[in-house]
Amino acid sequence: MIKNYKEAFEKTRSAGLIAAGALDEVAKIVRPGISTEEIDRLCYEYLNDHGAYSAPLFYRGFPKSCCTSANHVVCHGIPSNKILKGGDIVNVDVTALKEGWHGDTSRTFEIGEVSIKAKKLVQTTYEAMMKAIKIIKEDIRIGDIGETIQTHVEAQGFSVVQDFCGHGIGQQFHKDPNVLHYGKKGTGEIIKEGMIFTIEPMINLGKFETKILNDGWTAVTKDKSLSAQFEHTIGVTKDSYEIFTLSKN
Ligand code: MF3
Ligand code: CO
Ligand code: CO
């Protein structure tokens, strides 16, 4: 067990609620015709209005307040004047920094009516994340999380991205452990009460390989297939877990 984690949980809860609240606002405005820059502006303002900073803004030179990753973009898409159109899927990833603590969460939104395949991908990605969250308690292993996600995803014929993973989080944005979204039960680091980390599977319709575009950030699927992602920040308790980034709605 990690000692005296109550304050860490309280602070992460408060940051997490703000990040989730920003995504609730995004949900209200995402529709065909909106630009990803407009989503970014909304996130910036929401965080600001709630006494938080955007952790991504200027993080290792990242230029915006959230990541907007559409269609074949796996993660770290940079908001721009790109207009979203009906049939697109877009992940919006928000990390609030409040009183020195981080809350990190993302959701994939469907723009207008999307294809049955895209719907299935988005739904499966969400299910995989939730299935993995539900097994969390002290003394499970990182590999238990990975296998739970991989098994669910591959049963649908989709693939798990291996180049990016979930991460420990707290006063640092990214820290140990690496939370792989694939793997084998009974392997990897043992999870302890009081740990805080994200689970954020990126799932591809085609193959799992990714590459980074010339902007140095945007990760895309090599085969240009669609990719979806969801993310929650989780705290480990003795017999269970707490999701810090649940929507209040
Ligand atoms: N929020 C992302 C994560 O889930 C990290 C974004 S870092 C940025 O870890 F610099 F790209 F914004
Ligand atoms: Co994260
Ligand atoms: Co994130």
Q: What is the mean pLDDT of residues 1-12?
A: 96
Distance 206 CA to ligand 2 centre (A): 23
Distance CA 245, CA 157 (A): 29
For position 249, what pLDDT does the model report?
75
Could you give the maximum distance between any two Cα atoms of the chain, in Å?
Answer: 49
- For the CA of 56, the closest atom of ligand 1 is 12
Q: What is the mean pLDDT of residues 85-109?
A: 98
Mutate to test the pocket of ligand 1, among 80, 173, 202 (most ligand atoms within 8 A of CB): 173
In this structure, which residue's CA is closest to atom 8 in ligand 1?
56
Rg (Cα) of the chain, in Å, rounded?
Answer: 17
pLDDT tens, position by position, 100-117: 999 999 999 999 999 999
Q: What is the mean pLDDT of residues 222-241?
A: 98
Backbone torsions φ then ψ of 5, nearest 5 degrees: -90, 0
Q: What is the mean pLDDT of residues 23-33?
A: 98
